[in-house]
Structures are given as structure tokens and as C-alpha cells.
């Protein structure tokens, strides 16, 4: 029997159902578990706590599969968890939202380290932990059966794999990618997705509801969309009747794809302007040019993966938010996001308050943003709550 026995008192977080065991909590191992093996976790007094996946390299030494001693870890277990995750989404996300969905969101769906995103007929699987890695074949088979998809494509190239001692692995696991490229529909708009090289698994599904909201707010407004990536907020703003949309991103490939996405839809391209530039610099250029806007979206990349980077990240957030507030006409709206797990919602609000003060702008919160319902946050796993956003109105 492979098992990890914890130090006295170190079972506390598990009793609160936090799904990770850190290396410092482990007293000893029995049965020589190897990377990805299923182990029983026991308290110092021998009491069963959970079944978990062992990861010898990572500081997160074990991730919980099940709290039930009677549950066996096998393909049937994975199938039941996948089914549960898919059923939950069916009732939460309306069909009109489109054909792109996060089917499995790791720890918060009881499948630590497993991400599965669906884009139409293609499912993209991302395995981020030693335990997830071990069950690649079974996960692929179950996803195929449960979704009836034409292709399962693997994108296991996230940085966190290195912490688990796992190599990069990308490519087709089942079927074939469509020759015409992968496509998705969201809120009535069409997009092409680069599942092989795009960010995450190709698209920021977590912003789905927020893109829709921006579309609703954009009517007749001059919009600035910073960090536009493949144009999600841009397209929604145009579809919502924006007077103009200026989109900025430092990546030429992202802008090329955003323009291609615009061309796929029946939207007025004449109202779209594109700038390939560093947002930190470009906001200053726009200020010096005397430009102003009525709706600004700031959706930067992760500045702080962990709390250790929070201070540096705070300076970055404050800088772009201060400049954006200055570019807003009175009565204008700023939709400002942070996907940094290391920056709490409370800290983010403080940063914006500081930015407004320094910009000399009266500003009020008139809305909150979070990830869409296919990115649940298990209450016992607050680490899962990374995306936050505030809608701020300049007085």
C-alpha cells in the first residue's frame, strides 16, 4: 500500500478540504510511490484523510483525488468526475453563449491539474500535474466518449509543468485537427483559434460574460481596448454598436488574428483602428496626442503569478489605470481586469483608488467582473479565484 503519512497537526488544511499537501507537511512515505502514483494520505495517528496523486518534485507533494476511502482511482472515477463537470455546466451556461466552453477547471472540478477546453468539435487538454499526467490515456478516452468530439489536442506546455518535473508535451491525442483550422462561436460572433500556439489553450474563455457586458456598454461610444489579443472585446464592442474601437497589443500575431476574426463577422471594419505597441508606452502617446475615450478596457497579462510579486505588479496596474483614467472623458467607463492570483480583489480595488487619486479623477465602482461559470472556484480552494475586474465610472 502506497501512502503518505503527515506530521502531527498537518492534517488541518485537509480537514477543511483544501486539495493540496505541501512537502513540509509530509512525515514519511510508505511503499515507494513514484511520480503520479495514487497514494493514501494519512494523519500522524494513521487515520485516512484522502486519496491523492503523488508528485515527488513539486512543492505541492500531493493533490487530492477523493475524500472517500471507498472510491477507487481508475478510469471509472475520471469518467464520473468529467461527467459531473459537464453536467454542471449544462445547467449554468446557456446554449446562446456559443460552442466554446471550459469543460474541466482543475482542482475546482475535483480533477487537480486537469484543464479541458472545448472549441466546437475540438477538445484541448492541458495536464499540469504529475497525477494528471499519469491518466492522460484514460482522460483522452473518456473526453472523446463523453463529448463525441472529432479531436483531442494536448497543450501541456504551461510553465507550472516544470515545477512538477514534467516535460512540454503538445500534439494530437485523438482524431485530427480540422484542415480549415479550429473555430468557435461566442455570443453570435465567430473566431478562429490557434490551439497549437495561442495563449492558454488558444482563447480566454474566462472572459466570455465580460466580453458580452462590454458589448452592451459600447453603444455609440469611442472605445479603447488595451491588450486586445485576438480581438474578443473589440468584436463585442463593434457588435454592440461602438462608434469606434482602437485596439492595442504588442504582439503582431495577435493583431493579425484579431483582424482576421473581425473579417469573419459582419461588422464595420472602418470603425476599427489597430496599434501594435506596448500599452505602457502607447497610453502616454495617446495622452500626448490629446485623444480621449468613453469606454476603456484594460485586460493585461498576469503581472503577479503569486503574492511574492504583488508589489511589482501593483506598480504596473497603477500605472496603466492612472493613464487610462486620464484618457477617459467625464462619464466614461473603465473596465479594468487583473488575472494575477497574487493580487487579491481587495488589493486591486486599493490600486485603482490610488490611480484615481493620482489622476485627479472622481471615480466610482459601478460593476464587478469575474470569470464565467465554467471556471468555478471551489470555496475550499481560494487559490482558484484569479480573475477579477472592476467597472469604474469617471465622474
Q: Which is nearer to ligand SAH, 174 or 280 (CB)?
A: 280
Tell me which residue of 390, 299, 389, 302 sits closest to 340, measured CA to CA: 302
Q: How far is the CB of 236 from ligand SAH (least distance, A)?
A: 9
H-helix segments, 19-64: none
Q: For residue 275, state whether it binds ligand SAH (rule: CB under 6 A).
A: no
Binds ligand SAH by CB under 6 A, chosen from 77, 135, 191, 227: 227
CB-CB contact of 299 with 226 (8 Å):
yes
Instruction: Map the footprint of ligand SAH across residues 81-140, applying CB under 6 A.
Output: none
State the distance between the two ends of the chain, measured CA to CA, in whole angstroms. Answer: 65
Q: How far is the CB of 281 from ligand SAH (least distance, A)?
A: 8
Q: Which residues pair with 89 in a beta bridge?
A: none
Q: Which is nearer to ligand SAH, 77 or 229 (CB)?
A: 229
339 is catalytic: yes
Binds ligand SAH by CB under 6 A, chosen from 229, 274, 317, 348: 229
**Cα–Cα–Cα angle for 306, 310, 314, nearest 5°?**
145
Q: Which residues contact 284 (CB under 8 A, 6 or more apart)?
A: 323
Q: For residue 278, state whether it binds ligand SAH (rule: CB under 6 A).
A: yes
From 82-90, 180-188, 229-237, 287-295, span contacting ligand SAH (CB under 6 A)? 229-237
Q: For residue 207, state whether it binds ligand SAH (rule: CB under 6 A).
A: yes
Q: How far is the CB of 1 from ligand SAH (least distance, A)?
A: 46
- CA separation for the pair 261, 203 (Å, rounded): 12
For ligand SAH, what does the binding mask look like between residues 238 and 257, x meaning CB under 6 A? -----------xxx--x---
Q: What is the number of residues in the chain?
A: 395
25's grid cell: 507537511
CB-CB contact of 71 with 77 (8 Å):
yes
Q: How far is the CB of 301 from ligand SAH (least distance, A)?
A: 4
From 137-145, 215-223, 224-232, 265-273, span contacting ligand SAH (CB under 6 A)? 224-232
181's grid cell: 483550422
3-state helix, strand, coil in the chain (%, to 5): 35, 30, 35
Q: How far is CA 102 from CA 9, 88, 114, 201, in A?
A: 36, 11, 11, 10
Q: How far is the CB of 213 from ligand SAH (least distance, A)?
A: 12
Q: Which is nearer to ligand SAH, 132 or 228 (CB)?
A: 228
Compute how many residues bind ligand SAH; rule: CB under 6 A.
Answer: 17
R_g of the chain computed on alpha carbons: 22
230's grid cell: 485576438
Instruction: Map the footprint of ligand SAH across residues 288-317, applying CB under 6 A.
Output: 299, 301
From 105-113, 278-286, 345-353, 382-390, span contacting ligand SAH (CB under 6 A)? 278-286
CB-CB contact of 236 with 208 (8 Å):
no
Q: For residue 265, state whether it binds ligand SAH (rule: CB under 6 A).
A: no
For ligand SAH, what does the binding mask look like between residues 167 and 206, x meaning CB under 6 A? --------------------------------x----x--
Dihedral through CA 50, CA 53, CA 54, CA 58, nearest 10? Answer: -110
Residues within the interface to ligand SAH (CB under 6 A): 199, 204, 207, 227, 229-230, 232-233, 249-251, 254, 278-280, 299, 301
Catalytic residues: 339
Amino acid at each position: 500500500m502506497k501512502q503518505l503519512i503527515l506530521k502531527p497537526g498537518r492534517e488541518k488544511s485537509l480537514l477543511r478540504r483544501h486539495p493540496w499537501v505541501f512537502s513540509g507537511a509530509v512525515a514519511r512515505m510508505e511503499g515507494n510511490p513514484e511520480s503520479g502514483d495514487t497514494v493514501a494520505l494519512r494523519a500522524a495517528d494513521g487515520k485516512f484523510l484522502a486519496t491523492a496523486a503523488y508528485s515527488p518534485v513539486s512543492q505541492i507533494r500531493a493533490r487530492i483525488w477523493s475524500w472517500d476511502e471507498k472510491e477507487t482511482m481508475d478510469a471509472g472515477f475520471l469518467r464520473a468526475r468529467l461527467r459531473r463537470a459537464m453536467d454542471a455546466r449544462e445547467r449554468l451556461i446557456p446554449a446562446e453563449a456559443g460552442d466554446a466552453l471550459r469543460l474541466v477547471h482543475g482542482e475546482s472540478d475535483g480533477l487537480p491539474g486537469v484543464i479541458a477546453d472545448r472549441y466546437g468539435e475540438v477538445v484541448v487538454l492541458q495536464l499540469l500535474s504529475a497525477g494528471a499526467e499519469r491518466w492522460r490515456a484514460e482522460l483522452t478516452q473518456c473526453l472523446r466518449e463523453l463529448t463525441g468530439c472529432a479531436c483531442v489536442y494536448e497543450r501541456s506546455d504551461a510553465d507550472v509543468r516544470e515545477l512538477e518535473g514534467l516535460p512540454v508535451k503538445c500534439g494530437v491525442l485523438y482524431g485530427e485537427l480540422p484542415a480549415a483550422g479550429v473555430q468557435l462561436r461566442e455570443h453570435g460572433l465567430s473566431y478562429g483559434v490557434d490551439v497549437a500556439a495561442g495563449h492558454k489553450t488558444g482563447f480566454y474563455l474566462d472572459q466570455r460574460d465580460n466580453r458580452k457586458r462590454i458589448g452592451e456598454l459600447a453603444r455609440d461610444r469611442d472605445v479603447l481596448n488595451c491588450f486586445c489579443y485576438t480581438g474578443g472585446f473589440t468584436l463585442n464592442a463593434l457588435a454592440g454598436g461602438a462608434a469606434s474601437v482602437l485596439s492595442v497589443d504588442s504582439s503582431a500575431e495577435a493583431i493579425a488574428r484579431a483582424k482576421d476574426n473581425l473579417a469573419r463577422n459582419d461588422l464595420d471594419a472602418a470603425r476599427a483602428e489597430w496599434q501594435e505597441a506596448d500599452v505602457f508606452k502607447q497610453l502616454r502617446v495617446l495622452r500626448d496626442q490629446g485623444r480621449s475615450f468613453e469606454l476603456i478596457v484594460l485586460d493585461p497579462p498576469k503581472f503577479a503569478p503569486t503574492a511574492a510579486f504583488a508589489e511589482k505588479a501593483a506598480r504596473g496596474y497603477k500605472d496603466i489605470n492612472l493613464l487610462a483614467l486620464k484618457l477617459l472623458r467625464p462619464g466614461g467607463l473603465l473596465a479594468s481586469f487583473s488575472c494575477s492570483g497574487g493580487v487579491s480583489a481587495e488589493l486591486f480595488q486599493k490600486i485603482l483608488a490610488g490611480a484615481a487619486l493620482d489622476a485627479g479623477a472622481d471615480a466610482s465602482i459601478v460593476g464587478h467582473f469575474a470569470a464565467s461559470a465554467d471556471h468555478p472556484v471551489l470555496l475550499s480552494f481560494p487559490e482558484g479565484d484569479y480573475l477579477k475586474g472592476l467597472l469604474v465610472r469617471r465622474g
